[in-house]
Structure formats: C-alpha cells, structure tokens
Structure 1
Amino acid sequence: MRRPESTDGFDDLIKSCRQQHDALKAQLEQGRDRLLEIHSNGGEKAQALAESIEEQDDDTSLIAFSMNLFDIVGINQDDRGENLIVLTPSDHMLVPDFPGLPEDGCTITFERDVALSA
C-alpha cells in the first residue's frame, strides 16, 4: 500500500486477515479443549505422578546428602524445630560464597507441606 488513498488490494488484505484470525481462533479452541481433556481425564497418569512424588517425599537420601554437604562446606545449621533449619555462612567455609545462601542466612525445610504453607 504505497498510496494510502488507494483501496487496491484492501479487500484481499481483509480476507487474508480474516482467514488467519479464524485459523488462530480454531487452534486456540482446540488447545483449550485439549487442556480441559487432560485436566478432567488425567486420572491414571495424574494418580501415578502423585504417587511417585509421594514416594520421593519419604526418601531421606536428599536430606542426608544436603546435611553432609552443609557440614563439608562449613555452613552453620540451626535446627528450629517444626522441620525448619536455618542455614548461615560460617567463618570456616571452604568457599567464600555458597550459591543461594545470603550473607544473613536462610531458612529451609525438606517437608513439602511446610514449604507450601510458608
């Protein structure tokens, strides 16, 4: 459209835009239907996933690994009960900065319910 006053090709442009709009709208509707289908019909897969997560929640190997790592690196650990541990940097750390550990420390938990309630 080199000349704004010209209407040549305008009808074709409108037709093309309408076709693209209709195609995108159909794709969105199909996608939405797919999401509803997964949500309402995810029964067996969703149950299997939930059971797998629950089994991993009972596994204490992550806790043992993490506590051992904190000991080796030299991170102070203060058990605050209620499944909470306060981690703070010490003067005897192997590395000057531990990724994700702020200078004033942080509180962690290995319990999903505690983490989600915070």
Structure 2
Amino acid sequence: MRDPVATAMQVCPVEIATAVLGGSWKLTIVKHLLEEPLRRGQLKRRIPLAPDRTLTRQLRELEDDGIVHREVFDHVPPMVEYSLTELGHSLAPVVTVVDSWGATYRWTIDATK
C-alpha cells in the first residue's frame, strides 16, 4: 500500500478516496478506461496534455492501489494494455457525476464571461 493511502486510512474515507484518486489525470485515466482497455500510447492520444512522466506515474499508482490492471502481452515489441479492475469499474458512478459537474461548472463560468 502506498504511504499516502496508508496515512489516509487513519483519517476518513474522503481522505482515502482523495489519496487514491487525487492527482493529475487519474480520474481522466479512469474515465477513458471505463470505455475500453487501452495501451499507453492510446491513453496519451486521448489525454494529450498529460506529460509522459506524469501519465506513467499515475498509471503505476492506480495499479498499486488496485484500480488499474496492467497486462503485458508476449509480443515483439512488447505490448502493454491497461484495463480497470472490478474495484476500478466501481468508480463509474463517481466519474459520471464528476464529469457532469465539470461540464456544468465550465458552462456556468463560460456564461459569466
């Protein structure tokens, strides 16, 4: 278990969720993996503003926290595919609500300009 998650376990469930899902691009990664399993390059194309190092780090953390499954296929060159675990799929309602809230927020802010 990653240290931030272990620390959050001593506080409250909101802190646990923040420790697991907080960070650049994590919910966006989950949103795209809810649609289908993807290779890293496919994720990068869907999230072009995510720096390579950040995307890699976030995928590793999501894997460490049991949200993402990383499967390496025996190909030349090697192929790696990311998918959501059962726990990761349980985030679908959360991602839907956060996505909807973000769209409403953007619309509200744009309307005030």
Coarse TM-score class (shorter-chain normalised): under 0.3
When normalised by structure 1's length, the TM-score is 0.24
Pick 1 or 2: higher relative contact order, CA cutoff 8 A, min separation 6. Answer: 2
The structure whose Rg is larger is: 1
TM-score normalised by the chain length of structure 2: 0.24
